[in-house]
């Protein structure tokens, strides 16, 4: 049975939330409310997950008290015995998991990690070739609204065929020859298919660019060995957040190939110096003191990702996604690229239901199914009211759901949309979702 933390457990000293119970019941109420929301609802946002009790403990540790600008063995403040040890551990685990020469585990977010790479390698005005936002790319890959788009010249490639998701690598090559990018960027936040990393790398070599992969969404699948590792095809850099399929705390890493030098000395801009250029770009270039409690929690998550159970987790994420996609398509829904090879899918809500993504997100929210609206390729609608909805299976898989549960979730979703105007029916589905969820504990809340 799942302990009900919304009922004040009296909290004797030393037990969970005992200090907050005494000092700040207002904030405690919000934390318990969020726990209840996570426990009683279904999380289908493709970029979210549930951390383990161990990750949560490291994140809530005294490492948050410490300033540690610099890198292990080269810091600007004293008292670094344990910060050096934990950061060294995180770096070593990241290098082993992703098979690279260097890991910078300090970026506090994925956006910062990408910005640090751009500044490590580019000069203002240089060109980056990245995936179009509505075709699945990410805001930090050069969307015109970002600060980076004012500094660098981003040009965008698209899918050749939105029915299959295939990228037009011939067009990409031609574009690269014309535009002469310094970075070719492979990566996405709403693309449901595998990329051909070898093709990206060959094109990058032909035009003298470096190959960078933003694997924020699928780094957990790469670590589990169920998705391709871009380093196997010679990529130079991989950025990733740590809180999506990798199931760690909020944070990010920059992984690279090359020789690790002294980050206190500015090296020449050569491919071999990328690790040092990246370290200097993160600190002092972009950030001040790293979040060592976050680093400790990243180390724990990377340790978990090295275990055989994580391989099984990765396999199940994929099985669940394929199953949910098939169930929805068999019931008349239209998915962008007609399916998925990874953990996510994009539902075309206009074609499926005659509703936009914001309306469907809202309908599902009411019954306790959390999703995120999404653009579809070349979406005629604006990003705040786009035509699609993105769904993903990393979080529900962490809770232990399997293929048959995907059918139940799919059914709840379709019923909620069909009965959107029937209040009694909607409340009934809301109760059914809650009862269904009670079978699947949330790890961090139960302490697992
Ligand atoms: N917000 C993340 C996502 O949902 O994909 C990426 O930044």
User: Which protein residue's CA is at the shortest distance from atom 6 of ligand 1?
Assistant: 189
Q: Are the C-beta atoms of residues 157 and 129 closer than 8 Å to each other?
A: yes
Q: Is 241 a catalytic residue?
A: yes
Q: Is 96 a catalytic residue?
A: no
- Mean residue pLDDT of the chain comes to 95
Instruction: Tell which atom from ligand 1 comes closest to the C-alpha of 46.
Output: 4
Topology (CATH level 3) of domain 62-305:
3.40.640
Task: Decide which of 264 and 235 is more confident.
Answer: 235
What CATH class does 313-437 carry? Answer: alpha beta
Q: Is 402 a catalytic residue?
A: no
pLDDT in tens, 351-388: 999 999 999 999 999 999 999 999 999 999 999 999 99
**Burial 77-100, CB ≥16 within 10 A → b, else e:** eeebeebbebbebbbebbeebbeb
Q: Is 144 left (phi over 0), alpha (psi -120 to 50) or beta?
A: alpha
pLDDT score at 294? 98
The greatest distance separating any two alpha carbons of the chain, rounded to the nearest whole angstrom, comes to 68
Of the residues 46, 143, 189, which should be mutated to test ligand 1's pocket, given the most ligand atoms within 8 Å of the CB? 189
Report d(CA 89, CA 79) in Å as an integer. Answer: 17
Q: Is 446 a catalytic residue?
A: no
pLDDT confidence band for 446 (50 / 70 / 90): confident
Distance 51 CA to ligand 1 centre (A): 17
Q: Which residues line ligand 1 (CB under 6 A)?
A: 47, 110, 138, 189
pLDDT score at 359? 98
Q: By C-alpha distance, which of 290, 241, 291 is closest to 58?
A: 291
Of the residues 112, 134, 142, 216, which should be mutated to test ligand 1's pocket, given the most ligand atoms within 8 Å of the CB? 216
- What is the H or E stretch that residue 90 is in? helix 81-98
pLDDT in tens, 90-138: 999 999 999 999 999 999 999 999 999 999 999 999 999 999 988 888 9
Instruction: Tell which atom from ligand 1 comes closest to the C-alpha of 190.
Output: 5
**Residue 156 — φ and ψ, nearest 5°?**
-120, 140
Coil vs helix vs strand at 164: coil
pLDDT confidence band for 16 (50 / 70 / 90): confident
- What is the H or E stretch that residue 74 is in? strand 74-75
pLDDT score at 357? 98
Instruction: Tell which atom from ligand 1 comes closest to the C-alpha of 45.
Output: 4
Model pTM score: 0.95
Q: Are the C-beta atoms of residues 41 and 431 closer than 8 Å to each other?
A: no
Report d(CA 274, CA 260) in Å as an integer. Answer: 8
- What is the H or E stretch that residue 389 is in? strand 388-392
Coil vs helix vs strand at 42: strand
pLDDT confidence band for 445 (50 / 70 / 90): confident
Instruction: Tell which atom from ligand 1 comes closest to the C-alpha of 189.
Output: 5
Q: By C-alpha distance, which of 108, 89, 48 is closest to 253?
A: 108
Beta bridge partners of 103: 255
pLDDT score at 3? 44
Q: Which two tokens stand for residue 120?
A: 């490590």
pLDDT in tens, 45-98: 999 999 999 999 999 999 999 999 999 999 999 999 999 999 999 999 999 999
Q: DSSP letters of 349-360?
A: HHHHHSS-HHHH
Coil vs helix vs strand at 303: helix
Report d(CA 269, CA 246) in Å as an integer. Answer: 31
pLDDT in tens, 299-336: 999 999 999 999 999 999 999 999 999 999 999 999 99
Active-site position among 95, 173, 250, 434: 250
Report d(CA 349, CA 372) in Å as an integer. Answer: 12
pLDDT confidence band for 447 (50 / 70 / 90): low
Of the residues 133, 137, 138, which should be mutated to test ligand 1's pocket, given the most ligand atoms within 8 Å of the CB? 138
Report d(CA 443, CA 448) in Å as an integer. Answer: 5
**Residue 39 — φ and ψ, nearest 5°?**
-75, -40
pLDDT score at 285? 97
Q: Is 67 a catalytic residue?
A: yes
**Residue 50 — φ and ψ, nearest 5°?**
-115, 130
Q: Are the C-beta atoms of residues 107 and 252 closer than 8 Å to each other?
A: yes
pLDDT score at 358? 98
Q: By C-alpha distance, which of 273, 291, 253 is closest to 116?
A: 253
Distance 361 CA to ligand 1 centre (A): 16
pLDDT in tens, 184-196: 999 999 999 999 9
Question: In angstroms, what CA-CA distances link 37 with 12, 403, 428?
Answer: 25, 23, 17
Instruction: Tell which atom from ligand 1 comes closest to the C-alpha of 390.
Output: 4
Where do the domains of the chain lie? 62-305, 313-437
Averaged pLDDT, 201-221: 98
Does the pLDDT value for residue 156 go beyond 80?
Answer: yes
pLDDT score at 15? 75
Q: Which two tokens stand for residue 303?
A: 């340790």
- Torsion sign over Cα 331, 337, 343, 347: negative
Strands 344-348 and 388-392: antiparallel
pLDDT confidence band for 7 (50 / 70 / 90): very low
Beta bridge partners of 186: 213
Distance 387 CA to ligand 1 centre (A): 17
Averaged pLDDT, 23-51: 97
- Quick one: what percent of the chain has pLDDT higher than 70? 97
Q: What angle do CA 265, 267, 269 make, to 5 degrees?
A: 155
User: Which protein residue's CA is at the shortest distance from atom 2 of ligand 1?
Assistant: 47
Active-site position among 48, 57, 69, 168: 69
Does the pLDDT value for residue 4 go beyond 60?
Answer: no
Report d(CA 285, CA 62) in Å as an integer. Answer: 26
Active-site position among 241, 276, 340, 397: 241
Coil vs helix vs strand at 39: helix
Does the pLDDT value for residue 149 go beyond 90?
Answer: yes
- Quick one: what percent of the chain has pLDDT higher than 90? 93
pLDDT score at 11? 53
Looking up tokens 């990408």 gives 114
Report d(CA 323, CA 413) in Å as an integer. Answer: 14
Coil vs helix vs strand at 170: helix
Sheet holding 252-256, edge to edge: 102-104, 252-256, 237-241, 210-214, 183-187, 127-131, 153-157
């Amino acid at each position: 049975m799942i302990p009900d933390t919304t009922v004040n457990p009296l909290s004797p000293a030393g037990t969970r939330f005992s200090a907050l119970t005494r000092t700040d019941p207002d904030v405690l109420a919000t934390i318990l409310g969020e726990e209840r929301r996570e426990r009683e609802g279904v999380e289908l946002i493709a970029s979210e997950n549930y951390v383990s009790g161990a990750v949560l403990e490291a994140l809530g540790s005294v490492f948050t008290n410490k300033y540690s600008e610099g890198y292990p063995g080269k810091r600007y403040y004293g008292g670094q015995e344990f910060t050096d040890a934990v950061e060294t551990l995180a770096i070593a685990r990241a290098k082993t998991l992703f098979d690279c020469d260097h890991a910078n585990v300090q970026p506090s977010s994925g956006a910062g990690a990408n910005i640090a790479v751009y500044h490590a390698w580019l000069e203002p005005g240089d060109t980056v070739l990245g995936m179009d936002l509505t075709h699945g790319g990410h805001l930090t890959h050069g969307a015109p609204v970002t600060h980076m788009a004012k500094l660098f010249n981003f040009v965008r490639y698209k899918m050749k065929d939105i029915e299959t998701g295939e990228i037009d690598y011939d067009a990409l090559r031609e574009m690269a020859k014309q535009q002469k990018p310094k970075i070719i960027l492979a990566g996405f936040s709403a693309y449901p298919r595998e990329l051909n990393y070898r093709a990206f790398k060959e094109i990058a070599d032909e035009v003298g660019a470096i190959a960078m992969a933003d694997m924020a969404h699928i780094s957990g699948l790469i670590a589990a060995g169920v998705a391709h590792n871009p380093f196997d095809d010679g990529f130079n850099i991989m950025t990733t957040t740590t809180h999506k399929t990798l199931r760690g705390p909020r944070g990010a890493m920059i992984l690279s190939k090359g020789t690790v030098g002294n980050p206190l000395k500015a090296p020449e801009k050569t491919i071999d110096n990328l690790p040092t250029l990246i370290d200097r770009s993160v600190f002092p270039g972009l950030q001040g003191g790293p979040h060592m409690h976050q680093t400790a929690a990243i180390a724990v998550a990377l340790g978990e990702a090295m275990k055989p159970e994580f391989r099984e987790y990765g396999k199940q994420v994929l099985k669940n996604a394929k199953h949910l996609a098939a169930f929805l398509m068999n019931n008349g829904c239209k998915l962008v690229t007609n399916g998925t090879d990874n953990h996510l899918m994009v539902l075309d809500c206009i074609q499926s239901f005659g509703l936009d993504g914001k309306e469907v997100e809202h309908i599902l929210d009411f019954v306790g199914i959390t999703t995120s609206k999404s653009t579809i390729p070349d979406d005629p609608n604006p990003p705040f009211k786009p035509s699609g909805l993105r769904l993903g299976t990393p979080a529900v898989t962490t809770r232990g759901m399997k293929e048959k549960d995907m059918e139940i979730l799919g059914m709840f979703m379709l019923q909620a949309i069909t009965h959107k105007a029937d209040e009694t029916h909607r409340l009934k589905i809301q109760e059914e979702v809650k009862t269904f969820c009670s079978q699947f504990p949330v790890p961090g809340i139960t302490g697992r």
